[in-house]
Amino acid sequence: MNTNRGVLWATATFGGVLFLCLCVAAAGAALVWFRNQPELADVPAIAATAEPTPAPSVNIPDSSSEPTPASAPEPPALPDDLEIVRALSRVVNDVAQRVSPSVVNITVEVEDDLLGGFGQGSGFVLDKEGYIVTNNHVVEGATSIVVRFQDGTEAPAEVVGGDPDSDLAVIKVDVDPDVLQPVELGDSTSLQVGDWVIAIGNPFGFEGSVTLGIVSAKGRAVRNPGARPFSLPNLIQTDAAINPGNSGGPLVDVEGRVVGVNTLIFTQTPQANSGVGFAIPVETVKRVVPVLIEEGAFQHPFIGISGIELSPSLAQELGIDVESGVLVIEVFEGSGAAEAGIRAGTREVTLPNGETVPVDGDVIIAVDGREVRKFEDLVNYLDTLRVGDTITLTIVRDGETMDVEVTLGPRPDQLP
């Protein structure tokens, strides 16, 4: 019985295996047949690997999803660096060609052994009548003046008027009007720090020299290097190279319009540019030059005080309860300030550096509503006014703030 059961089990098992092999062979043959059919060659062999047919889309709002932003337009292509430099070069080329014929070389003869009897500077043609603007220090004290134009024309000149306190002068030549190429005056009030400016002049006698720079600062008040004890106000500071011989030449904008008159440099190396030059703003030229042509001189308004700037640290040392402003240390007799009752200090304090300062005078903190933090704030504002104008000074006196009206008189030739 056991032997028969074993034979039956073996026979059944062998039959099952044989049937399974036949099924696999049939499946393989079918797969080969399907693959060989041309119209079905691109159908995947295993249905499970095919992409499922997508279900119909249903628009279900989702408050958490963000809308897909529209693609941003491509930014415009920027010119390459070389093209930018070429564009700037073209601007300077154009300005130099248009303005240089208006710039003159001025040679003066003076009775001064230190200068060897001669001096030199620059100027620019104002109009067809032969008026030329330059610095007062270029022609002051000259016994003879010769003007040389770009085309080589030379002519003697005479001084029409000069103003040492603005360092402006007007001279006049008598030449063929065709030689005279007047400049175009611009607007120095619209200048911004960083604007490109171009200086044209005759440094060290090198005629028609052109230098490029920027406006480094505005509203500088710099002590006049001449004998006068007053500051040159509202100056334009520039790093365009200015050297001896540039004095009186124009500082122009990129449109070729005069925005200033080059006047001085600040340097610790004598007779050399150090990147700090100054120009008189053209707004001062517009105000002073017509008066020089008509009257030969210009009167500047004078408030009649001297003072020192207060800083928080200095105010603390002096025991003054005002952190900034101008401390009045002297009031000149007969001035508008004296007549208005402005007070100078009388109680003196010695500072650690040995300087003695009167500390109980008025402190000016505003003029006509404009804050005064530094002395140049006051000087620059007065430069925009005229003799006879009345201003309102806001002062601190004995801890109290008050307004005082002051009528401006003419600036004296010498201080007492």
Dihedral sign from CA coordinates of 309, 313, 314, 315: positive
pLDDT at 56: 46
- For 174, phi then psi, to 5°, come to -115, 95
Q: Which of 163, 167, 360, 383 is catalytic?
A: 167
Domain assignment of residue 249, yes or no? yes
Q: Is residue 243 part of a domain?
A: yes
Span 56-69, average pLDDT: 49
Q: Do 314 and 271 sit in the same domain of this protein? A: no
193 and 173, same structural domain?
no
Catalytic residue among 247, 253, 335, 362: 247
Residue 403: give its domain's CATH number.
2.30.42.10
Supply the pTM of this predicted model: 0.77
Among 102, 122, 137, 231, the active-site one is 137
What share of the chain in percent tops pLDDT 90?
63
Q: Residue 359: pLDDT above 50?
A: yes
Q: Which residue has the higher pLDDT, 67 or 184?
A: 184
Vertex 282: Cα angle to 278 and 286 (nearest 5): 140
Q: Do 333 and 377 have their domain in common?
A: yes
- Same domain for 327 and 353, yes or no, is yes
Q: Which residue among 179, 213, 233 closes a domain? A: 179
Both 324 and 399 in one domain: the answer is yes
**Do 286 and 343 reside in the same domain of the chain?**
no
Q: Give the Cα-Cα-Cα angle 202, 204, 208 (nearest 5 degrees).
A: 20
Query: Mean pLDDT of all residues in the chain?
Result: 84
Token pair recorded at residue 27: 């499946």
Do 148 and 246 reside in the same domain of the chain?
no
The domain boundary residue, chosen from 146, 179, 212: 179
* Annotation marks residue 188 as catalytic: no
Q: Nearest Cα to 315, choosing from 353, 276, 343, 357?
A: 357
Q: Within a domain: residue 5? A: no
Reported confidence tier of residue 67, pLDDT bands at 50, 70, 90: low
**Maximum mean pLDDT: which of 79-83, 277-281, 319-323:** 277-281
Q: Is residue 331 part of a domain?
A: yes
Quick check: is 85 in a domain?
no
Does a structural domain hold residue 310?
yes
Q: Are 163 and 298 in contact (CB under 8 A)?
A: yes
Could you read off the pLDDT of 237-288 as tens digits, one per residue? 999 999 989 999 999 999 999 999 999 988 766 656 677 999 999 999 999 9
CATH of the domain at 214: 2.40.10.10
Range of weakest confidence among 49-53, 63-67, 201-205, 312-316: 49-53
Q: Which of 249, 275, 295 is the last residue of a domain?
A: 295
Residue-range definition of the domain harbouring residue 342: 301-410
Residues 406, 305 share a domain: yes
Residue range 26-54, pLDDT digits in tens: 445 444 444 444 443 333 333 333 444 44
26 occurs within a structural domain: no
Does residue 326 sit in the same domain as residue 291?
A: no
pLDDT at 416: 67
Q: Is pLDDT above 50 for 103?
A: yes
Regarding whether 380 and 287 lie in a shared domain, the answer is no
**167: annotated active-site residue:** yes
Number of domains observed in the structure of the chain = 3
Do residue 233 and residue 274 come from a single domain? yes
Nearest to 152 by CA among 104, 94, 210: 104
The pLDDT value recorded for residue 365 is: 96
Q: Between residues 14 and 233, which one has the greater pLDDT?
A: 233
Specify whether 383 is located in the same domain as 367.
yes
Residue 51 lies in a domain: no
Give pLDDT tens digits for 190-232.
999 999 999 999 999 999 999 999 999 999 998 877 667 788 9
137 noted as active-site residue: yes
